[in-house]
Amino acid sequence: MRQSRIAAGACSLLLGAACAFADPATAQPVPEAVAAGYVALGDSYSSGAGAGDYLPSDTRCKRSGRSFPVLWAEAHKPPSFGFTACNGAGTTDVLEGQLGPLGAGTGLVTVTAGGSDVGFSTAMTTCALGGTSRCLSAVSSARSAMDRALPGNLDRLYSAIRDRAPAARVVVLGYPHLYRLSGSCALGLTDSDRAAVNDAVDHLDEVIAERAAGHGFTYADVRAAFTGHEICSSSPWLHSVDLLAITESYHPTAPGQSLGYLPVLDRAS
């Protein structure tokens, strides 16, 4: 256990350099030389939708100066930083439009992807507006997509990342539970709906973690970090549904990025 902690710290400092004591479960190909560039790929959870302070270069993608990739880059000062994550991106979007900054000099890659592939945002809109029966049906459809199409989509994306960044440490981050059950919300979804949503998140994270491991990538689970900070908790780090700012709904707030995702990435990188 002590060696694993020491190795994890060394890996963080060297951004993917050889780690003789790396945990076998997360060991990745050892580069011949230290590569230190950082590239952040993925969907809205990586771009920082919901965190505010959006960068003026591309407002469509909702890339936030408070997102965990920007905060990590500011803290660790990598020689290069490619930030191509974009709100609403599915695995195909990442594959076809975000991999440009990857290369032999990339030492760290982070990615969140999968939620858009299975129509999770559509399911949440249905749950917010359509009642229990329609909510449970929409969540069930999303779960089916997780088993049917998502594994292959993730495999294609992960293979392309490794091909383009052969020396990189790749950290795949998951998604948090959205709701605290029996929490403070007096209106909105029933607890049975909320439980179904959380169960679907668990299944999504399981699929992502399995495929990440299959490619030798590190999976970073954020659910524990968000425990006690879900929607309907006393101190939520996630936005509830907001019909006037729909792209903010069900996304991490600025504290969700800085206190939820960032420490998890620090430990994994």
Active site residue 215: no
Give the integer Cα–Cα distance in Å for 234 and 262.
21
Strand partners, 108: 38, 169
Give whole-number Cα distances, 203 to 95, 129, 220, in Å.
Answer: 23, 23, 15
Local structure of 38: helix, strand or coil: strand
Q: Is 82 left (phi over 0), alpha (psi -120 to 50) or beta?
A: beta
Q: Which one from 12, 249, 251, 269 is the annotated catalytic residue? A: 251
Euclidean distance between CA atoms 72 and 9, whole angstroms: 15
Compute the residue count for the chain: 269
Catalytic residue chosen out of the listed positions 12, 44, 47, 269: 44
- Our answer to whether residue 44 is catalytic in this structure is yes
Which strands, in side-by-side order, build the sheet including 106-112? 81-83, 37-42, 106-112, 169-173, 218-220
Please list, in sequence order, all residues whose beta carbon lies within 8 angstroms of the beta carbon of residue 262, skipping any fewer than 6 positions away.
68, 71, 72
Catalytic residues: 44, 251
